[in-house]
Structure 1
Amino acid sequence: MLEPTVLQGWGTFGQVIQGQCRSTGEMVAIKILKNCDHDGQIVKNELKLLQALREGDTKDSHISHFLESFSDTVWTYLVFELLQKNLFDFQKQNNFSPLPVRHTRTITAQVLVALVKLKELSIIHADLKPENIMLVDHARYPFHIKLVDFGSAILLPEVCHVQEPYIQTRFYRAPEILLGLPFCEKVDIWSLGCVMAELHLGWPLYPGNDEYDQVCYISSTLGLPQGELLCAAQKTQSFFQREELAKMLTWDSHERITPSAALNHLFIPMQEMKASFEATQYYQLILQGFGEWAPEAGLGCPCSTQHAPPTTETVAVLPPLRPHSNPCIHSSSPKPARDLLLPHPQAPQPPKPRALLVETTVRAATEHTVPDATDYVSQIDPSINSFAKN
């Protein structure tokens, strides 16, 4: 018989409390899951995975020990060995100070042992993050860890049946999940790399506010994905667009973009700019340059003939500036204000040779592009790029 004592925390899909076995006095962790509808399927999935782990003899594999389960009409209770604290709480307790490399190496080696065992059992954890890496007893066994929470885990043979998977916490989500590519157990390796960087830096490596933001962060350190990946990915159009110029300059006129399609291209209407900067002077200046030709996009604005014509200088829209990374970014902190610099006159530059200009423009236009985040990330968090390169 178990007796609950104190709230321990929250797992992916359930509450975790600390309890005590009345017969033995042993302290345990009890994960409580709801049985109804969608949650009921989650319970069945986790029980199936935990049973596979139990049969796979994971005693020395740095995976939390599952003891038993029981249920009533509303709840299912999963009983595990009691562990001390997770790595995120440990970081928080230490003011998110960077962890010495020797300790990061120790933790990484143990997680890799766990991942080797999971691969043997054809299991993908699919939610590897500091909150799911537990210190066993830091006072007696410093940096001895175990992997917990298999609420999002997937059996490898069942991966092909997963439709549009929404797995992995965003900061640790692998590119193949973001882009909609086939995936395997290596999504856990990506997550572990992000955890290693976070322990080394003291803050998340890729703290995106959404999936688009996440792709921008990753592209800023790793560069753009290879063309074959973008062609194979299901969600490429959510993050990457070919320049409009490439659609205008085609050998075959039948493949060339039409005027109406060109007007609806994101390069022209700039819906995202409208959503974020509609009240700014910068946005109003852009509208004055465009005039009334795009009312269907909600961008129409009377353009007075008294205004000077727009300059021929290209206007570049930068992604939102990131705040200096801080440990509290794990929580739901308010988003930073998004600022843009107003265009200003510059000294005229000598024109480039015409042939070189055309060649450079056409080559650039035929590549996939994403807003360049390299400069501002390296300026604000220079250690991110240096860590990735090393």
Structure 2
Amino acid sequence: MEIDAYDVQNGNFNSQSSRSIPAGVFYQVIIKDPIANAQSIFTIPKRYTNLQFLNAGAQGTVVSANDMVTGQRVAIKKMQQPFVMTMSAKRAYREFILLTTIRHPNIIRLLNAFTPDRNINEFGEVYLVMELMNHNLHEVVHRLRLDHKTLSFFAYQMLCAIKHLHNSGIIHRDLKPSNIVVNDRCVLKVLDFGLARKKNVDTAMRMSEYVVTRYYRAPEVILGLPYSEKVDIWSVGCILAEMVNHQVLFPGKDRIDQWTKIINIMGTPDEGFISQLGQSAALYVRSLREAVARPLEEVVPNEHFLTETENPRANLTAHYARDLIARMLKINHLERCSVEEALNHPYVKLWFKEEEVNAPSSENRYDGEIDFAEKTLQEWKELIYQEVMRYQATHDIFNGV
């Protein structure tokens, strides 16, 4: 028996959809995006009810839902057309593998994953069921003034997450406030691994310009240098400054403007950094008028902090916050602090827990070499299908149905 698209308003099934789904296991719900004035059909197991639109973007549409099996409210992400282009298929494969293997309290946890499609020919949709968090950090940063304790705790949790990723051989490469979620207890989790890469492959490679949202993009990326896991440290520094200032620190309009915004605040880098650049990049950097670094007290001023929440005994002061930002925002990545150094910085060290900072590395089945393989769109589709089938074979997707 086959069931076509469910008509939510009329309460019956219609035949407008050519896709078929197994009867008694899945049902379909039309999700309306009020912001984009668009809609998406979710085909999900019957255990998930009361779907409510949360957000939509280039990587997918996300709803909240009740899980009738666990009693939890969860988030369900429908991957957005993962097989239209090779780039999106590769990203979907990478995110699926990493979400099914990475485990840490400060990294979003995958609760379930499935496809309603029954064979490779029908295969076109992938759904990820994850923990539901109340807000993303972008909303929090631009709506609330955060006290020192919260700023410090958020910074600590970000650093714990990226340390675990780095220890597991992964560079996130796209840290930004909208890729970080928090709940009402100030627990923070990093998500979206579509741009993550293996460390041991990438440190000798040059990063695509598409990687890392421009505002949080490290200088070595902008100027085409080989990069390391310290690109994530730069991003955390930008995010911490944004949490204090309530505005983006380096809001570049394009690649060149991004570099200009950086040196106008941090100053022109020394010859030691410039000498690492390729000929054309070095020529460009030298052609610009020399910029003098602005005092960080002006860039992240005292009045942007909640002064009454300072706690000098715990090193929760504007001075220590700025010092941590300064150490993370070194233009020369060789001078930039490591994640271990950042976690031992006075501003965040009060939260240090061995089981969080040095949690056992995750399994990480992701093969970084596959990023450079010349695969067709169909081959990527088959790889993703195999991984979804592997997951479904080892998890109770439908609660015994």
Normalising by structure 1, what TM-score? 0.58
SS in 2 for 1:182: coil
Q: Which of 240, 246, 260 lines up with 1:196 in the alignment?
A: 240
Q: Which structure 2 residues correspond to residues 111-150 of structure 1 after superposition, within 5 A? A: 111-136=158-183, 138=184, 141=185, 143-150=186-193
Counterpart Cα distance in 2 of 1:389 and 1:112: 15
Q: Distance in 2 between matches of 1:41 and 1:9?
A: 22
Matched, 1:87 2:133: no
1:3 deviates by 3.4
Change (3 A) 1:212 1:233: same
- Asked if 1:237 is matched to 2:280, the reply is yes
Q: Tell me the equivalent position of 1:100.
A: 147
Query: Cα distance 1:213–1:165, how it changes in 2: closer, same or farther (>3 A)?
Result: closer
Q: Distance in 2 between matches of 1:223 and 1:385?
A: 18
CA separation in 2, counterparts of 1:105 and 1:163?
A: 30
Larger relative contact order, structure 1 or 2 (CA cutoff 8 Å, min sep 6): 2
Preserved contact between residue 268 and residue 291 of structure 2 (Cα < 8 Å):
no
Change (3 A) 1:167 1:22: same
* 1:383 aligned partner: 299
Structure 1 pair 32/158, CA: closer, same or farther in 2 (3 Å)? farther
1:31 paired to 2:77: yes
Could you list the per-position Cα deviations for residues 124-169 of structure 1 after superposition, in whole angstroms to 9, with x for gaps in the alignment?
1111111122112x1xx2x221111112211213314666352111
TM superposition score normalised by structure 2: 0.56
Aligned AA for 1:21?
D
Shift of 1:122: 0.8
1:205 aligns with 2:249: yes
Work out whether residues 30 and 80 of structure 1, in 8 Å CA contact, stay in contact via their aligned partners in 2.
yes
2:391 match? none
Quote how far apart the aligned CAs of 1:44 are.
0.8
1:86-131 Cα deviation digits (max 9, x unpaired)? 111123333xx4x333321111011111111111101111111111
| Maintained 8 Å contact 1:12/1:151 | no
Moved more, 179-188 or 34-43: 34-43
Cα separation, 2, equivalents of 1:186 and 1:385? 26
Tell me how far 1:17 sits from its aligned partner. Answer: 1.5
Deviations 1:185-214 (A, max 9, x none): 111100000011111112111111111111
Q: Distance in 2 between matches of 1:166 and 1:52?
A: 25
| Residues 19-98 of structure 1: pairs in structure 2 closer than 5 A | 19-33=65-79, 34-36=81-83, 37-38=85-86, 39-53=88-102, 57-58=103-104, 60=105, 62-71=106-115, 72=117, 73-94=123-144, 97=145
Give the whole-Å Cα distance in 2 for the aligned partners of 1:29 and 1:226: 47
**Equivalent residue, structure 2, for 1:13:** 59
Higher Rg of the two aligned structures: 1
Q: Deviations over 1:172-191 (max 9, x none)?
A: 10111101111111111000
Paired amino acid for 1:68: N
| Counterpart secondary structure, 1:52 | coil
Give the C-alpha shift of residue 11 in structure 1. 5.4
Name the residue aligned to 2:288. Answer: 370
Distance 1:162 1:178, change over 3 A: closer
Give the unaligned 5+ runs of structure 1.
243-367
Distance in 2 separating the partners of 1:93 and 1:385: 19
Q: Identify if the C-alpha distance between structure 1 residues 239 and 15 changes in structure 2 by more than 3 Å, giving closer, same or farther.
A: farther
Q: Deviations over 1:47-72 (max 9, x none)?
A: 1222331xxx42x3x11111121123
1:153 counterpart letter in structure 2: A
Task: Report matched runs for 1:166-177 at 5 Å.
Answer: 166-177=210-221
AA of the residue aligned to 1:82: L
Q: Residue 41 of structure 1: CA displacement? A: 1.8
Unaligned 5+ runs, structure 2: 1-44, 118-122, 303-321, 328-401
SS at match of 1:24: coil
Query: Which whole-Å CA distance do the structure 2 matches of 1:206 and 1:168 have between them?
Result: 13
